[in-house]
Structure 1
Amino acid sequence: MSDPLSSPEFLQNPYPFYDELRAAAPVQQVNTGSGSRPSYLVTGYAEAKAAFTEPGLSKSTARFFAGRFSGRNLHPAVAHTMLATDPPEHIRLRRLVTKAFTTGAVTRLRPYIQHTVDRLLDALPTNGEADLVAGLAVPLPVTVICQMLGVPEADRAQVRTWSNDLFAAGQPQRIDTASHAVAGYMADLIEAKRRASDDSLLHDLIAAREEGEQLSEDELVSLAVLLLVAGHETTTNFIGNAILALLQHPELLDRLRADPGQISSMLDELLRYDSPVGIATFRYSTRALTLGETEIPAGSPVLISPGAANRDPSRYPGPDHPDADRDARAHLAFGYGIHRCLGAPLALAEAEIALHAVLTRFPGLRLAVAREDLQWRRTRLMRGLESLPVITQAERTMPLG
C-alpha cells in the first residue's frame, strides 16, 4: 500500500487528498511509509476535536517507539520533548514556560516585534522582487524567539537551518544529525547563561531548575530545544500562507487594504483556511477505543490532521474559500485541549503586525510567479512555503480600461 501523504502532489496541495479520505471515512487507516503498522488518520473536524482530548490517546511516545527504530539516532532532547508527555509530567513542564506566552507578556513584546518587522521590510526593495519567506516569514519569528531565549544574533541563521532540517521528510539521517546539533548548541548555551546571567527566558528556566522546580538537566535542554523550534516554525508557515491566501483572493486583500484594522479579526479564518500544521505530532492508543465510527485497537499510531479538519464542510460550509465574515475561532490550527499551542498569542501578534506592515507598505503587492510554480516544504507535518516571490510595489497599479 503506497503512502498517500508523501507524494509530491500531496505536499504541493494536500486538500484534495484530505477531502477524498474524509469522504471515505473521517477516521481511517493509511500507510505512512514508516516501516511499521499503518496509522489511523483523523480528517473530520468533530473526530479531530474529540481525538485531541481523548484520554485513551497518549503522547508519551518514548514507550511506543522503544526498540522499534534501532537504526535511528535522534537526540533525546528532540525525541522526548514536552510535546511527547502526558499529565502529570506535561502539566509540570508546561507550567514553567506558560507565563512567557500569556497575552500580557506578548503585549509587552509588541514594540520589539514591530521594530523587527520594520527593520526586515526596510531591507526589501520598495519596488522590485523579493522573497517574503526568506525576507520576513522566517527571520521575524526566529529573531523574536531567539531574543526571548537569549540566543546570540550571530548564531540565529544556523539555528534556523537546524530547525528546518528537523522537518526534512524522508531524510532520517539529516533529521538525526540536526537533532544532535541543536541539542548540543542549547546545552552549551545553557552553560553560558549559568556563567553570565541575563533576563532571558532561558535564564528563567535555569533559575527554576536550581530553585527546586523538579526540572532535570535533560528536561531543561529539551524545553530549550522545543521553545527554540516550536517558537518559530508554525509562525513562519502562518505568515507565508496568510500572505499567499490574500494575494490569491483579491476581494479579501482589497477589504484589508481599505481597513487594516480588520486584520486581527481575519487571522483565525486565515489559520483555518491554510493551517500551518498539516498533521499534528504523533499519538498512540493505550487501549481499544472508537473515534467517530472507527474502532482503533490498542497500540495503534494515530495522526490528527488540523489541516483536514479545518476544511471539513460539515463544520465550515464552503471551506475551500476564505470568508472574512466567518467565525473561525474554533479552528484547530493550534490544536485543542491541554496540548494546544502555548505560543498561540505570540504567533497571532507576530502575524498581525507583519500583515499590517506588508499591506500598508506595499499596496501594490502581487505574486512574482504563477501559483502553481510555488514550492512547498517537503514535510507532511508542516504546511508552509519554501519561498514566496512577490513584487513589492509601494503604489497600487490601477487596471487599464
Structure 2
Amino acid sequence: MTDPTQEPRFLQDPYPAYAAMRSISPVRPVSGSGGHRNYLVTGYAEAREALGDARLSKDTAAFFAGKGSRRRLHPAVAHTMLAGDPPQHTRLRTLVTKAFTTGAVAQLRPFIARVTDELLDQWPAGGTFDFVAGLAVPLPVIVICELLGVPQTDRPDVQRWSAELFAAGKPDVIDAASHSMADYMTGLITTKRRDPGSSLLDRLIAARDGDDHLSETELVSLAVLLLVAGHETTTNALGNALLALLQHPAALDRLRAKPDDVPAALDELLRFDSAVSTATFRFTTEAVELGGTEIPAGVPVLVALGAANRDPARFPAPDQLDLDRNAAAHLAFGHGIHRCVGAPLAKAEAEIALRAVLTRFSRIRLAVPADRLEWRHTRLVRGLTALPVLA
C-alpha cells in the first residue's frame, strides 16, 4: 500500500487517511521513498509498544552503513542523541535533562512571560496578524537561544536553518542547512571557550572539557539538537492549538472566561493535533510482531504519533476536541527513553502564550477560511506556515 503521507491532501488533514489505515490494520507495510518497504504504525497501543521496544533501534549510522547514501548531512546532525541507543543515548541525555526539569523550567517562566508580552505588544490593535510569524515562531526561538547563549544578532539565521532542516522533498536544502547549523555551533563553541558564560551550552562545554567524556562531535551535535528541537515542536504546537480553539468556539469561550484552565486543557490540545506527526527514525534489529503483524528484521518502522492520538480504542470520539477529556497519556511528546526531553519547557511556553493571547485579545478570530491555511511541507512535523488572525 502506498504511504498516505506522500499524498498532497495529507498535509491539510491527515486524520481520515490514518483512520482508514487503522481500521484495516494498526500496523501495515507502506511504500517509502525509492520503493523501499516501511511499516507504518497508526494504533495507540501499538505505537506505545513500538516506542518502548528496545528491538526497534534508532542507530541510523548502523542502519545506513554500506548502503551508499548520496546524502551529505553534517555528522553532527545525522548522528544526534535522537539517532542512538543506550548506553550512548543514556549518557548524552543525562547531560541535558537537568536543564529541562520542572524546577528549571519554573525559573524560566518570568522570562517566557516577558518575551510573550513584548511580542504581543507589537500586534496591531484591531488588525490582521500572523500568529505563527508574530508569536509561535519567535517565542520558542528566543527562549532556547537565550538558554543556550546564542547572540540575538544570530537568531534569524538559526531560525532559517532550522526551518530548512525540515524541508521535505528537498534533500539538498536539508543537507546544506545541516552544515550551516553545525558550522555555526562549532564557531559559537569556540567563542564561548574564549569567553565563558553561564548558559546551558557553556555547561555542556565544561562537560566536554571536564570528566564527563563528551567528545567534540557529541558536543556540537547536542548543541544543534537542542537548538532545533528546542523550538520546532513548540512553534507547531502553538499554531495547532490556537487553530483548534478558533475552530471550536465553545472551547475558546471557555478558556477566554477561565484562562486559568489553559494548563489543564493543554494535553487535550496536544492530543487533538500533534505537533510531531511521525516519530523519528527507527528500524527493527530482529523480526518483531506488532499489532498482529510480523515485521522483518532491518526494516524502518514509522510511528505515527498523530494517528495514535486519534485512535478511538484509546480516546473515544477522538476527532472531537473535549477539554474535559483526560488526555495525559497522549503521545505528542513520544514515549519511553526517547520521550522529548524538552516537554516541560514546551508546555510552559504554550501555556503562557495561549493564556496571554486569550486574555489580551478577547475577540480573536480567523482572518481567512480554515481551508485556505497552508501547512508545512514536511511529514515529520505538523504545523502551519501562517495563521492569520483578527485581533
Distance 1:112 1:346 in 2: 12
Shift of 1:69: 4.6
Pick closer, same or farther for the CA change 1:69–1:325 going to 2, 3 Å: farther
Matches within 5 A, 1:114-193: 114-193=113-192
Corresponding residue number in structure 1 for 2:61: 62
Corresponding letter in the other structure for 1:10: F
User: Which ranges of structure 1 fall in alignment gaps of 5 or more residues?
Assistant: 393-401
Secondary structure, aligned partner of 1:5: helix
C-alpha distance after superposition, 1:11-43 (max 9, x if no partner) = 11111111111111100011122x152110100
Structure-1-length-normalised TM-score: 0.96
Distance 1:56 1:71 in 2: 27
Distance 2:351 2:69 in 1: 44
Q: Is the 8 Å Cα contact of residues 4 and 32 (structure 1) preserved in structure 2?
A: no
Corresponding residue number in structure 1 for 2:307: 308
Pick closer, same or farther for the CA change 1:36–1:89 going to 2, 3 Å: farther
Matches within 5 A, 1:2-401: 2-33=2-33, 35=34, 37-392=36-391
Aligned residues: CA RMSD: 0.8
Corresponding residue number in structure 2 for 1:397: none
Secondary structure, aligned partner of 1:351: helix
Shift of 1:65: 1.2
Identical-residue share of aligned pairs (%): 64
Corresponding letter in the other structure for 1:209: R
User: Which ranges of structure 2 fall in alignment gaps of 5 or more residues?
Assistant: none
Q: Is the 8 Å Cα contact of residues 100 and 201 (structure 1) preserved in structure 2?
A: yes
Structure-2-length-normalised TM-score: 0.99
C-alpha distance after superposition, 1:225-248 (max 9, x if no partner) = 000000000000000000000000
Corresponding letter in the other structure for 1:150: G
Shift of 1:3: 4.0
C-alpha distance after superposition, 1:316-337 (max 9, x if no partner) = 0110011010000000000000
Shift of 1:68: 2.5
Corresponding letter in the other structure for 1:306: L
Q: Is the 8 Å Cα contact of residues 5 and 32 (structure 1) preserved in structure 2?
A: no
Q: Is the 8 Å Cα contact of residues 285 and 297 (structure 1) preserved in structure 2?
A: yes
Secondary structure, aligned partner of 2:39: strand
Distance 1:36 1:201 in 2: 42
Distance 1:297 1:70 in 2: 22
Distance 2:259 2:141 in 1: 25
Corresponding letter in the other structure for 1:28: R
Secondary structure, aligned partner of 1:303: strand
Secondary structure, aligned partner of 2:50: helix
